[in-house]
Structure 1
């Protein structure tokens, strides 16, 4: 009876470890883009705009190529002479991170943790710097 109980405990313990290990492997991790092109650039801009609740955003052509995180600032309003209309901006910029979970690439708004799955973008785990 004692052997059966120990055996049952061992099976439960091992299956618990396997579940924990698989959960670790499927958690999203920092990633960089592997296929930068016009389609992926457009998808990234649209996804970021959606995450921020903006009508549109502008990002560089090499966004997310070297680093998993980008900082997005609101466009400052300027007059005809190029001077800021409302003075200096004290608004905190938004951080957006590219993540890889399994085969999927995700964009996450760091402050709100809202996440969008990307369909055109391919990514790889970010190299440790």
Structure 2
């Protein structure tokens, strides 16, 4: 009676390890963009704007090419003449991270955890550079 019980425990432990290994493979991992171009840049800007709930964002041409995370700051306030309005900004910048999950690239707003899938962007794991 003891042998079958030990066998069942052993099988349970082995299957538990297999499930853990597959979960690690499918979990999103930090990534960088591969082959950036105008189309991928536009998709990144649109996805970030959507995640932040704003109409438009401006990012550099090399965003996400070296690091998986970028910091997005709010544009400074300007008066009707286009001059900066002096004052203290207490807005905390937003962090956006590029992730790879399987063959899919996605962006995650770090503060909220919200994500957006990217269809045009190709990415590689950040460690694979």
Whether TM exceeds 0.5 here: the answer is yes
State the 4+ residue runs in structure 1 displaced beyond 4 angstroms.
none
Within 2, Cα distance between the matches of 1:6 and 1:20? 21
Matched, 1:47 2:47: yes
Number of corresponding residues: 128
Q: Flag structure 2 segments of 5+ consecutive residues without an equivalent.
A: none
**Which residue pairs with 1:77 in the alignment?**
77
Within 1, Cα distance between the matches of 2:52 and 2:82? 29
Q: Flag structure 1 segments of 5+ consecutive residues without an equivalent.
A: none
**Which residue pairs with 2:22 in the alignment?**
22
**SS of residue matched to 1:127:** helix
Pairing 1:113-124 to 2, within 5 Å after superposition: 113-124=113-124
State the Cα RMSD in Å. 1.7
TM-score of the pair, normalised by structure 1? 0.92
**SS of residue matched to 1:11:** helix
Deviations 1:44-83 (CA, angstroms, capped at 9, x unpaired): 000000000001111111100001011111111223363x
**Which residue pairs with 2:90 in the alignment?**
90
